[in-house]
Amino acid sequence: MSEFEHPARSAPGHEVTVEDVRQLMGASTPHFALQLRNRIAKLIEGLPADHPARVEGEREIARLVRLGYSGEVRGMHAQAGQRPLKSNAEGLAEAG
């Protein structure tokens, strides 16, 4: 993911809104969570502490940090009725 910012959001005089923050949040995944966190932080950095977009942005940054560091867990046991998947190590051993 690029750190490129949408031109309308970075235009001089643009009033940052909660909707701007929500557009960046989108359907965030663990893979891109920390990049999104950086983009939101940059977007809200000059806003006063009580600005609605800053409040929303800070809440989202906290969520993205959690998601980025612990949001994707692998190697869990199969749930009832599911077959367990092979780990990468098992798959590489069979392929070699």
Q: How does pLDDT run across 16-48, given as a tens digit for each residue?
A: 889 988 888 887 888 889 999 999 999 999 999
Residues in the chain: 96
Helices 33-44 & 18-25, crossing angle to 10 degrees? 170
Instruction: Give the model's pLDDT for residue 60.
Output: 94
User: How sure is the predictor about 72, in pLDDT bands with cuts at 50, 70 and 90?
Assistant: low
The answer to whether the CB of 43 falls within 8 A of the CB of 80 is: no
Round the average pLDDT of the chain to a whole number and report it.
80
Structure tokens that stand for 76 in this block: 């869990």
Instruction: Give the model's pLDDT for residue 39.
Output: 92
| CA–CA distance, 86 with 2 (Å, rounded to integer) | 33
pLDDT at 1 over 50: no
